[in-house]
Amino acid sequence: MRKIFWFRNDLRVNDNQAFQEACSNGDVLPIFIFDKDYYLLDTSSSFHLKFIKDSLGELNKTFKEKFNSKINIYYGETLEILKHLTDKFKINEIYSNIIFKNKYINDLDKKCLEFFNSKNINWNYINQFGVQLNHRQRYQWANNWNSFISSKIIEKEIKCNFLSDDNGIEYSSVKTNEINTDFIQKGGRSNAIDLLTTFLNSRSENYQKEMSSPITGEISCSRLSPHITYGTLSLREIYQKTFEKLKEDLSYKGKKSLVAFKSRLAWHCHFIQKLYDEPELEYKNLNSAYDGLRENDFNENFYKAWKAGYTGYPFIDACMRYLNKTGWINFRMRAMLVSFASYQLWLDWKKTSKHMAKVFTDYEPGIHYSQFQMQSGTTGINSIRIYNPIKQSIDQDPTGEFIKKWVPELKEVQGKLIHEPWKLTYIDQKSINLELGKDYPVPIVDNKVNTKIAKDKIWNVKKSRDAKIIADQILIKHASLSSRR
């Protein structure tokens, strides 16, 4: 029996059921494919490529040490590569974990399945998340997820013979949207384990209090999201290690924070479930009553200013510049950036989401598009929340420390004016050698005026009969409820 194990977003050996099942006997060719067209999408970037490269490097090292073998890495058109490999190695079966991604991947998987079926090759795919694959049962979802996430991790003995191909690729040959990767998180399982260990043992102590600010969140947040996205750690490993910490270290001061963190792991699968049930979330409003609301009012200049961090709102600009440089920012600031784009700038989320996908190292479509629609008010089932960038600035960066680091044009601005530099007088500007409109932009919109306009527009739709009817249908389809009736 000859098999392919196809590593995808599961770059680990531990707690990888599909890998273990593939390797229970026979000859196995372990592969990873950089899909040429996927990396040319406007949602892909060198942030993702670098993280995967780091992770593959460490996984290959594990293969060498444990199995005296390697992962065979390819670059090109996935289906053509699979056709070549299945023919060359006389493959009988394919093993992989199910991945829940964007339309491009969904369409690609359908083509792969058609090909495998035509060749009588069995594709065995395992569900590595607590996602219901057939006929989601709303009242059973939480119970099913809890059973999955708490199930015992079993590591089976590897009994196969690993096959090697004579291929080789240069990572530099993978073409994608280029961004400087010098400051992003490093991939690889060892880095994931270090992050989990330090988070559970100390960094999580003030997680609940400090997760909202980009200053404290950098340390107090787990920073595990890209490792979850690319599977260097399994969600089950994270959950169970967190549960063990709560159970064994009763004196830990961060116990409440860990309970909150543990509950958020379920939300990861909840949002992936939504995308699985409704793939059109990626490119259509969940509630069709909102169709046409923003699509014809897109301001390209606003979009360019928002992407680059030159809107004239210091905290918005600091957060965007930080994100563009590091590939990560904490959740509240993500929500604020999206809210500002969708409401004050009135930009269509279907376009702004592409930029954010590109610069989020942890880009996870299920979470990404659900959150974009929630923060843009197009679900019809979530509360409308419009973030005030000035209030967020004062609350999350009261001294202007974060702003001055990432918007150095304003480093000489003193006191509360750092949050509203447009209030600087001509004399104030002269005294610190700053000219607004030249050295730093004046606000591209009036926050108060545009917030009022946006609120009126979105509420007019939300209160409509059509929006309410569709919202009720969405709740029936997507809400995951307790098993108690």
CA 24 vs CA 127, 155, 237: distances in Å: 18, 11, 22
Give the model's pLDDT for residue 169: 87
Asked if 46 and 127 count as a contact pair (C-beta separation under 8 A), the reply is no
Give the model's pLDDT for residue 87: 98
- Spatial neighbors of 147 by CB under 8 A, at least 6 apart, are none
Give the model's pLDDT for residue 480: 62
Residues 416-457 pLDDT 10s: 999 999 999 999 999 999 999 999 999 999 999 999 999 999
Give the model's pLDDT for residue 485: 33
Residue 150, both tokens: 């708490």
Least Cα distance to 288 among 298, 297, 278 occurs for: 278
Residues 202-219 pLDDT 10s: 999 999 999 999 999 999
- Spatial neighbors of 96 by CB under 8 A, at least 6 apart, are 5, 6, 7, 8, 10, 18, 123, 124, 125, 126
Counting Cβ atoms within 10 Å, is residue 421 exposed (0-12), middle (13-18) or buried (19+)?
Answer: buried
Token look-up 């035509």 returns: 118
Q: What is the pTM of this model?
A: 0.96
Least Cα distance to 241 among 185, 199, 281, 203 occurs for: 199
Give the model's pLDDT for residue 481: 59
Within the chain, which residues score under 70 in pLDDT? 480-485
What are the structural domains, with CATH classification, of the chain? 2-128 (3.40.50.620), 189-276 (1.25.40.80), 288-478 (1.10.579.10)
Give Cα 293 distance to the centre of its chain: 26
Count CB-CB contacts under 10 A for residue 247: 8
Give the type of residue at 28: V
